[in-house]
Amino acid sequence: MRTNVVLIEQTNELKYQAVELKNPGPNEVLIRQKAIGVNYVDVFFRNGTFPVDAFPAPIGLEAAGIIEQVGAAVKNFVPGDRVAYYGATGAYAAHRVLHENDLFKLPDDITFEQAAAVMVKGLTVHMLVKASHVVKAGEVVLVHAMMGGVGSLLSAWARSLGATVIGTVGSAAKKELALQRGFEQVIDLQTEQMTGKVDVVYDGTGKTTFQQSLALVNPGGSAVLYGWPSGMPDIDMQWMEDRSIHFVSAVLNHYPAYQDKSGKAMNEIFDLIRNGVLNLDHPTVYALTDAAKAHADLESRKTTGSIILKP
């Protein structure tokens, strides 16, 4: 069958195009995709920061949809099942063929949109608050880009663990949104200086924030670097060693809960949606045909929260 996909061209642009899809093999299924997650790492693959094998290159890590067809040896799924997956490159597509081991069944009370908005970002936060630095009640936590996709989940999750969250944002409008969500200590980096003392800084922004925010970390605290859209910061290990600051470079690909494609850790994250800690009811939605616009808006810091594409 033919389907529509978005691929990265050699020019570092995204192109929406029709391609021929192979039939599912014995252990594979055909999925009609309903919602696709957009992550900043997709921008890094598109713009050449991270290499791809060959052009045109598939892009996108996660999606949710409905199984339309199953291979002869598929054991765990039947047509009509609602499913989701993460960590399988090529998600920017209307239909996909994947091995059944890449998928998990989506609970009935989680929408396709919520799943696409939360899987990679939610597992990133799972890693950040449970492994990179274990957030404890009473701690003060600094979150950069606190209204971004990962940032808004991280801020809400850390607060639910009993931490006080100080957050930074890149505009007055984002500050207003953060205040509406009940965060009291919000710093608009365009007009305000970072102040305070914190037990941990979570930095998914990079060069423009990392070194400055280290000055706020208490001796014995943690500095977790997990992304660098503003560029890779210079990392002064001696400076951190002198102050007993624990430096962590956090990478989701190496996190066991992400490597396990059965979605086990997702249940914990879905529970946080069910009990209202994480709110993913209104992700920003773009048509799959507008994937290039979604990237442009993400890169130019126009978006807040999670972004999804709909075929």
Ligand X SMILES: NC(=O)c1ccc[n+]([C@@H]2O[C@H](COP(=O)([O-])OP(=O)(O)OC[C@H]3O[C@@H](n4cnc5c(N)ncnc54)[C@H](OP(=O)(O)O)[C@@H]3O)[C@@H](O)[C@H]2O)c1
Residues that bind ligand X (CB under 6 A): 39-41, 120-121, 124, 145, 147-151, 169-171, 174, 204-205, 208, 226-227, 229-230, 250-252, 298-299, 301, 303
Please state the closest distance from residue 202 (CB atom) to ligand X, in A: 9
Minimum Å distance from CB 61 to ligand X? 9
Comparing CB distances to ligand X, the nearer of 57 and 66 is: 57
Least distance to ligand X, CB of residue 296, Å: 11
Using DSSP's 3-state secondary structure scheme, residue 204 falls into coil
Query: How far apart (Å, rounded) are the C-alpha atoms in residues 49 and 51?
Result: 7
- Given the complex with ligand X, which of 110 and 150 has the nearer CB atom? 150
The 3 state secondary structure assigned to 110-172 is CCHHHHHHHHHHHHHHHHHHHHHCCCCCCCEEEECCCCCHHHHHHHHHHHHCCCEEEEEECCH
Cα 247 off chain centre by:
21
Residue 7 or 307 with smaller CB distance to ligand X: 307
Nearest to 106 by CA among 149, 66, 153, 61: 66
- Least Å distance between CB 269 and ligand X? 14
Find out whether 261 and 284 touch, Cβ atoms under 8 Å.
no
Residue type, 228: W
Amino acid at 51: P
- Please answer whether residues 126 and 160 qualify as being in contact, where contact means their C-beta atoms are separated by less than 8 angstroms: no
Shortest distance, CB of residue 301 to ligand X, whole angstroms? Answer: 4
Secondary structure of residue 200 in the 3-state scheme:
strand
Beta carbon nearer to ligand X, 71 or 206? 206
**Cα 191 from Cα 173, distance rounded (Å):** 12
Q: Which residue lies nearer to ligand X by CB, 164 or 230?
A: 230
Closer residue to ligand X (CB): 76 or 211:
211
Report DSSP state, residue 281: S
Residue type, 231: G
| Nearer residue to ligand X within complex by CB, 252 or 269 | 252
Minimum distance of ligand X from residue 103's CB (angstroms): 21
Q: Which amino acid is at 54?
A: A
Give the shortest CB-225-to-ligand X separation in angstroms.
Answer: 8
Among the listed residues 143, 198, 200, the one whose alpha carbon sits nearest the alpha carbon of residue 168:
143
Q: How many CB atoms lie within 10 A of CB 288?
A: 21
Instruction: Quote the CA–CA distance of 39 and 226 in Å, as a whole number.
Output: 13
- Between 240 and 257, whose beta carbon lies closer to ligand X? 257
Q: Which is nearer to ligand X, 61 or 74 (CB)?
A: 61
Q: Smallest distance from the beta carbon of 228 to ligand X, in angstroms?
A: 6
Instruction: In angstroms, give the least distance from the CB of 287 to ligand X.
Output: 19
Radius of gyration of the chain (CA): 20
> What does each C-alpha distance from 285 to 15, 280, 281, 282 come to in angstroms?
18, 12, 11, 8
